[in-house]
Structure 1
Amino acid sequence: MLIVLPPSETKADGGDGAPLDLDRLSFPELNPVRHEIAEALLALDDATMREVLKISEKLGGEIAANRRLWTSPTMPAIRRYTGVLYDALDADTLDAAALSRLAVGSALFGIVRATDPIPRYRLSAGSKIPDPGTAKAPTMKARWGGGITAALKGVAPVEGPVVDLRSGAYLALGPQPGAITVRVESLREDGTRKVVSHFNKHYKGILARSLALTGHDLGPGTGIDEVADVAGTTGLTVEVTGRSSLTLVV
């Protein structure tokens, strides 16, 4: 099983790993696009980068971080990303087996595994970076084409189902037909339900942690019912609501 998380806009500083080396990242077939995006980003002057990435004056450190993309220290991706989902995931308490089941979608790197070493950076799925020397500014979706989808397609036959927790914008960069998606709903006192928005990431972090820590074999051939059953053994209420969709009821 591979659980694909959304990235976060907020990222931890520092790191003690060697500078970014694309050859050390998982899914090496994505490296040409990774390099192309990185170089297009670094070709921007500060004013254009601020405009393209919608960076306010007080967030000048984000520009500086991008400038040091190839030279700053790295840390495992699962520690680089921060925020509500990652707080709930509590990756520092996960063992190696659990970490091996986690990956993160990314505008810059496409998809990386939890332990892949990456630097701090600023780039989102909605960004449009001009190509150096041209007036064209392709969307991230156009830049990635079918690359992320193809990379994920090779996972299930080897590792089992893909549980895709990416948000809409990052799903669009590389949709994976057949991947298990999750909707979070809260149960009201009158028995009706409503979609959870504000705490959506928190509950997805809890679900990701529960699935990553499972001792059950969720390898090739595992169906969505088995994934739901395993989540249920951890105390979560998870319903199968479609051929490849689950609903987490909170």
Structure 2
Amino acid sequence: MLLLLPPSEGKSAPTRGKPLDLGSLSFPVLTPGREEALDALVALCSADPAAAAEVLGLGPTQTGLATRNADLRTAPTARAEQIYTGVVYDALDAATLDAPARRRLRRVAVTSSVFGLVRLADRIPSYRLSGDTTLPGLGSVAAHWRRHLGEAVAEGVGSGVLVDLRSGTYAAFWRPEGDVARRTVTVRVLHEHQGTRKVVSHFNKATKGRIVRAVLTDGGTPRTPAAFATQLRDLGWYVEEGAPTARGTQLDVVVAEL
């Protein structure tokens, strides 16, 4: 099983820790792509932080984030579970999982604009690079990772089910095909209120974090979309299962309240 999450826009910045070691990260097949993304981002932010901030879509008071990017190769690192913050990661609350569930954190991978995929135990620095950015010398970040991620995802999911919890921006980094697509579940969270259903960002993110936490705690290893849907129902969610498509099977998780 592989549970595929989006990154958070906000990230904590460690003040101490070893510098980045690309050779220590999971999915070593991505090392060449990581080197290219790092080179492009560091070069941009080292040359002119103000101009870099504009390319990165940062506000006039956020130039410091571009300056931080310039030092990514030497900046302190921490476990990715400590770097990524926000609603998804607050709901997952990885630090409070029991010991067996923490060992299962290896089943989680985060889509990263700089590193492609990372596991939550991987040590990375804080960075700022949105998935819809185009970098000088690299081009579209999403297009860059589309050339690299297929093999890494296949390695991570093995013969199990792939649970795709990414947002639309990061879903563009890689699309399932073939055998992996037949084992892919895309989860959509719908908030139901007074008979109307819609996607609400906070409900969507919080529920996805809670789903990951519950699945890790449960410990089951479903190998098909139908089996994963059953697992979620057994864990207390209301789930509607769509028909399989060439890109996988969509599951709608319907919630009324947080």
Q: Does 1:248 align with 2:253?
A: yes
State the partner residue of 1:199: 203
Q: Does 1:64 align with 2:70?
A: no
Q: Does 1:173 align with 2:173?
A: yes
Q: Does 1:114 align with 2:120?
A: yes
Q: CA separation in 2, counterparts of 1:123 and 1:217?
A: 33
Q: C-alpha displacement at 1:198, in angstroms?
A: 4.0
Report how many residues are paired: 240
Q: C-alpha displacement at 1:61, in angstroms?
A: 2.6
Sequence identity (%): 43
State the partner residue of 1:227: 228
Does the 8 Å contact 1:165/1:204 carry over to 2? yes
Determine which of 209, 215, 223 is the counterpart of 1:211: 215
What amino acid is the match of 1:138?
A: G
Q: For 1:3, what is the secondary structure of its paired residue?
A: strand
CA-to-aligned-CA distance 1:122-175 (integer Å, 9 cap, x gap): 1111111101xxxxx6111222233112211233335x1110111111111112
State the partner residue of 2:194: 189
Q: C-alpha displacement at 1:215, in angstroms?
A: 2.5
TM-score (norm 1): 0.90
Does the 8 Å contact 1:153/1:176 carry over to 2? no
Q: CA separation in 1, counterparts of 2:215 and 2:13?
A: 28
Could you say if the C-alpha distance between residues 197 and 242 of structure 1 is closer, same or farther in structure 2, counting changes exceeding 3 Å? farther
Does the 8 Å contact 1:152/1:176 carry over to 2? no
CA-to-aligned-CA distance 1:176-216 (integer Å, 9 cap, x gap): 231211111122333x4333334211111111111122222
Q: For 2:17, what is the secondary structure of its paired residue?
A: coil
Moved runs in structure 1, 4+ residues, more than 6 A?
Answer: none
Q: C-alpha displacement at 1:16, in angstroms?
A: 4.5
The residue correspondences of 1:23-172 to structure 2 (distance < 5 A) are 23-44=23-44, 45=47, 46-94=49-97, 95=99, 96-131=102-137, 138-158=139-159, 160-172=160-172
**Which is worse superposed, 164-173 or 64-73?**
64-73
Q: For 2:62, what is the secondary structure of its paired residue?
A: helix
The structure where helix makes up a greater share of residues is 2
> Which runs of no fewer than 5 residues in structure 2 stay unpaired?
none
Does the 8 Å contact 1:19/1:71 carry over to 2? yes
> Which runs of no fewer than 5 residues in structure 1 stay unpaired?
132-136
Does the 8 Å contact 1:183/1:248 carry over to 2? yes
Q: CA separation in 2, counterparts of 1:189 and 1:47?
A: 48
Could you say if the C-alpha distance between residues 55 and 188 of structure 1 is closer, same or farther in structure 2, counting changes exceeding 3 Å? closer
